[in-house]
Amino acid sequence: MSPADRFAALPELLSGDSDLCRRGRWLSVDCRVDVGAEPFFLSIHDGALTALDRGPRLMRSTAFTIRATDEAWTRHWAAMPEPGWHDLFALTKRGAASLEGDLRPLLQNLQYFKDLLALPRQSAKGA
């Protein structure tokens, strides 16, 4: 399964995590996450992922973008990630990821986004 396919399962993973939805209840934002060359547009409303659109969209407005290589996401989503691959900021420090745009919503809800973007690790635990 490709990293983009693993990420596409995010709506089901989030719907099964009521605690994470509760912690994000004050968050409403549109953002973009690039898994390798594949863009995903996330619409989050009151902590729930209301839309996940895969693929390019012309003129789509987002608050911020998180970009990382396929390797970075694959290693980040390991059941027990190695040091340097375990965290969004560790990925940016090593140059495997970047954060762009208005980072205020990301930083104000940092633990929510870290946990949201770590949800695909669950498929590694089951493998």
CB atoms within 10 A of CB 49: 18
pLDDT in tens, 75-118: 999 999 999 999 999 999 999 999 999 999 999 999 999 999 99
pTM for the full model? Answer: 0.93
**Burial of 12 from C-beta contacts in 10 A (0-12 / 13-18 / 19+):** exposed
Tokens 């912690």 -> residue = 23
CATH number for the segment(s) 3-69+98-118: 3.30.1050.10
